[in-house]
Amino acid sequence: MAQFNTFEEAIDFSLMRELCEKHGTLRHYRRGEYFARVGEVIKNAGWIVSGGFKHSLIDNAGNAKAVGFVFEGSILANYLSATHGKRLPTDIIALEESDVLIIPASMILEWLMSDPTLHIRFSDALFEQAYEHMLNDYRSTPEQRYRQLLSRYPRLFDVVSLGEIATYLNISRRQLHRIRETIAAETAEEDKSN
């Protein structure tokens, strides 16, 4: 199955996984437990062995918004915080029972700096994903974005609440409900035809 984040498909993370397997400490996170909090400089990073996490923030109106997700077989970190000492713009919270091999964030920086070409490719892949995500918000309707999300990573709907999916898509829960009703009606109509 495809990785949730497209930048993960552009980079070979096997060395990062091996680094975590060799030097990491296995840590279990319960659903809702924080890996890191907004405003902190991330001290640890890790490899998600099982489970998943969300990146979440509080908007200017005081509403919680899910702005990103990361799942099993992925790095758990924040690039700017881990490599440049920037404060986290989001909380990183377990979506479900999760196991992570934890290493100091400085090891990610060492890994990236050991190969300048890798660091550039990594930065480019992150930028491309962010830019594509922004453009997709303009070029696609909310229904199209929902369908893309459903086709790209169906497991998301097993572990993430519909409210969080709505905030990720930057739409209201009511709008998401209408989209789901439309798709359900189409599916029922297709089933009748077959």
* Cα 39 to Cα 102: distance, rounded to the nearest angstrom: 20
- The burial class, CB within 10 Å (0-12 / 13-18 / 19+), for 2 is exposed
Q: What is the pLDDT along the chain (194 residues), one digit of tens a residue?
A: 456 655 566 566 677 888 899 999 999 999 999 999 999 999 999 999 999 999 999 999 998 999 989 899 888 988 888 888 899 999 999 999 999 999 998 888 887 778 878 777 777 777 777 778 777 778 889 999 999 888 888 888 888 999 999 999 999 999 999 999 998 888 888 778 76
Domains and CATH numbers, the chain: 1-114 (2.60.120.10)
Torsion sign, CA atoms 25, 90, 58, 54: negative
Residue 57: HSE in the Cβ half-sphere, 13 Å Cα cutoff: 12
Kindly report the number of other CB atoms within 10 A of residue 87's CB atom. 13
Number of neighbours of residue 116 by Cβ within 10 angstroms: 9
Cβ 73 vs Cβ 3: under 8 Å: yes
